[in-house]
A and B are shown apart, each in its own frame.
Chain A
Amino acid sequence: MAARHLIIGGGTAGMNAIRTIREEESERSTITLVSAEKPYSRMVLPYYLDRSIAESHVFTATAKVLADWGVTPHLGKRATALDTTANVCTLDDGATVEYDDCLIATGSSAVRAPVPGADGRGVHSFWTLDQARGVIAQIQPGSHVVMVGAGFIAFTILNSILALGAKLTIVEVAPRILPRMIDDTGAQLVEAWLTKHGVGVRTGAKLTRIDDVKGRLRLKMAAGGDLVADVVIMATGIRTNLDWLKSSGVKVNQGVVVDDHLRSSVPNVYAAGDVAEGPDLLSQANAVHAIEPTAQEHGRVVGANMAGKDVRYRGSLIINIVEVCHLDVASFGAWDDARAETASGVRADRPAYRKLLWKGERLTGAIILGPSSDIWTTNDVGMLKGLVQSGVALGRWKAHLKKNPFDIKPAFIATKTTSMLLPETILGRPSKAPGETPVAV
């Protein structure tokens, strides 16, 4: 009998797993997809918000594509329990799906600040397509939007809100913006840049409640200076969707704990993406990396392993980039490692900033900030990733970079980083183009 694969979750991890199973398998298997939503990409929702793309652009697989790939979909259904002894998954409509192996790729959900009024009318999250639709319907030119939280998600939609002609104020409880993406110096530069571009920023500001006052929203702040908004967006973090696994017997820590093949404590159950706690490239310790590139790599590795290949995942690298009013802000790897040896350079007038972190001769983390129009920014963004990813020994270039932290290019080329990177692939073979997935005949 053909192998029966069950994919739970139709996000980036799940869809990459499905494609890779079809690419790698030698015998045609059956694939069932259980997904609470139609498959789409969360990464591109900000571009739907500013109407630079149509809603149809966000979908990663239409019903026809799923049919072409030979996938049996259960869309609009949530998995509610996993019986790993009987190999059966129960859905919220009571249906059950039997499997030979399964992938847990149920992602994460937006959480709101625990204050009165946080679930009221006019207060939104921006995480799912449905939530994006809700926000789009509310923002008009001249609207005052208050964003609660100044993390990565808030920053991905900042440009879109401004592009819609809204006035924006950001409120962050931490003493600075982007606390989990850049350091103090970088945050100060970005904050000054935002202020220059007319965005209100309040850091160290604790929200205590939200009241609906005659159709507008009043945000009561602990230190006074209340704000009145037309739309409130809660970008106050995400939570891994793990609750449904309680009685499954699958080992869970911050996420589903997986090995270097992305197998959970139950051998025929894999996990991938935001829900997985898998190996980190640099430390090899397990960690949840709730970022798009990790979901993609996880999904492909699981897909190959489900298809009978033996693919070891060498670990994921934290990489993040946001563009803030034409200023690129990116960080890589262990950029916040307080014990690392560091060097940095600031050009406040551009603004431009580089911070490099070392362990011995290897670069283990980096922060980069610079104008999007500056070719050295994009050049260095990729090369810094390459230096951290390859772990190339920088030798005497380390001393040079400590003095000249902007001089990434010659260091990258002369240390032969390219020759280290060229043989690297995630699946041990060249990648196929998105349209090359084999279809059912």
Chain B
Amino acid sequence: MSYGIVAYGSDNKIAFHSDYSSVVYAGQMSTTTSAVQPTYTGDHHIGINAATRSSNYDMGRIIQYDITLDVDFFIPFYCPNHNNQEICIMDVVNEGTKWVVNLLFSGTSSQAPAVYAFAPLTELPSSAVTLSDFGIAVYDSSSNLVFTDSKRPLRIDDVVTITHHSSIKTNSKGSVSLGANSYTTSSHVNFTSNKTKDHSGSVTNTANKLYSIVPSAYGGLAYNNSGEGTIDCFAGLVTKQYAFEYKSWASFRGCVRHTRNTTTHTATWKADFAGAAYQYVDTSCGIGGLLGSILGIILAVFTGGLSLSLVVGAALTGFVIGEMTVGTVPSIKAYTQDEVFDQNSRPVNLMVTDKSYYGIT
């Protein structure tokens, strides 16, 4: 540099520099919705109670945060609510002067993690920066504020490359037994993920650590059971036909948990949307041939397009309690087969910092 100022840390790397804007802590994000576990509630659905959402569908909870911050570039960091909490930042959405984060987490509805916003100092509106009467303010050659002691700069303790397992679950899901005269069912298979992947960092996880990562991995698990047959109405002389179709699924997101007092970051899977549907039909004795058209009702749910949109919209009805707008509703999907979308386990960097650097309590 031919002018200005540069300061170095004890590691001989830049602490601040008048050519470059520091990235600073810009505030804590607020939750704008209740935490929800969306499930399919459309035609022929089977209810999934709270305990089963956890035990069989491995569901986390979706919640939305926002912060009024008129910047073009933004980095969200989260602080887990408790040890081993599994978290996925699902979406980061810019809505003009506001940034929105959709997040999936494990735990109870009152255990949402805290989310903090960081942004380049040069982008913060002047109203968001109050200079002290003393201390340091550094400007670049265009008179942009690039460092001030009143906005503490982002200090990264560790960067860890995270990949997710290429499978969500490899052990048995179990089965739902159905057949003739199975008019209803409340049974569910077990979609609980059994695949995780550990990654070692260089700093110890504590309750004060903040993490930033938007995992690229997502996918789903599905279970299908269908059949048809003949029921004897009278001494083998008169029969009727029956058919059934059972479908269930759990849509998963790649999450990360950070076990305290270790340096381990574990890539895990947690479901963001689940559903189960069942339809049984039979004919009157002596009548046949109608089953295919009747069972078409349940099949339409899974053909995508308009039908699927209606299903997903209904499932998220409870999520629109807060200020969520259509443009920020997370994308969720009903699966008809096991799938993982992750570009062959593409690595994504996890950044680690610490609350104490920013005066966050």
Question: Do A and B originate from a single complex?
Answer: no
Interface residues of B (CB under 8 A from A): none
Interface residues of A (CB under 8 A from B): none
